Amino acid sequence: MLHLEPREKSKSESAYSAIKDLIIRGNLTREDALSVNLLASKLEMSKTPVREALQKLESEGFVRIIPNQGVVVCELTVGEANYMYELRMALEGYLLRRVVPLITDEHIRALRLLLEKQRGAMERNDPYEFMEYDNEQHLYLHEIYYNPMIFDVMNRLVDRIYFGGIHALRLPGRMDATLREHVLIVDALEDRNLEKACQTLEYHFTKGLSSTTASVEIHLLKKG
């Protein structure tokens, strides 16, 4: 897989991971009054790594830093979900067309192993682990056909995509449906059927978008 070798995290990286995880899991929301001082106290860190972490999170769309006021969590919107899935369809649809002629039995075995891990997460009712394998399966296409610019764009969006996926999985039955859609994609790849692979990917993204937007709208209605 296309990952860097593990290394010890800096304090700012640790702060970044911790704050992002709190946002993704819904433990920090737009309603929370946040500041660098409050987060530094919560994480038992100095203000400098927290400030650096927040700057990175702002560049990724997770927070907005308001000078002299504080920090606001940026919740997912219907508009952002639409833009995200349009971009994914354009990039991953193109990538899939390059992947099909290159697919090998070894690639299929790797993809089916990820499907089994995803199934295990579903059986444990763990949407966070489920989405990790979901993203890993999508990014695995870059192992087969590597375009560094496409990979860079997708890698920078992967956490926001994860956030959107968690929203979608809040709908009853969406986890099971997502797994079945992934199985159909891998089946099409195993058959080396380009048309079917593209159709199943488009269907997967269409259902993912509708589930994400429905979840966002329900969340907004509950907030009143």
**Tens of pLDDT along the chain (224 residues)?**
444 444 457 889 999 999 999 998 888 888 888 899 999 999 999 999 999 999 999 999 999 999 888 899 998 899 999 999 999 999 999 999 999 999 999 999 999 999 999 999 999 999 999 999 999 999 999 989 999 999 999 988 888 899 999 989 989 999 999 999 999 999 999 999 999 999 999 999 999 999 999 988 887 777 65
CATH 1.10.10.10 fits 11-73, yes or no: yes
Query: Is 89 exposed, middle or buried, given 0-12, 13-18 or 19+ CB atoms closer than 10 A?
Result: middle
Give the C-alpha separation, 7 to 80, whole Å: 33
Domains 11-73 and 78-223 are alike in CATH topology:
no
Core vs surface per residue 11-34: b (16+ CB within 10 A) or e: ebeebbeebbebbbeeebeeeeeb
3-state secondary structure (DSSP) of residue 66: strand
Distance CA 168, CA 212 (A): 4
**What is the domain partition of the chain in residue ranges?**
11-73, 78-223
The domain covering 78-223 belongs, at the CATH homologous superfamily level, to GntR ligand-binding domain-like (1.20.120.530)
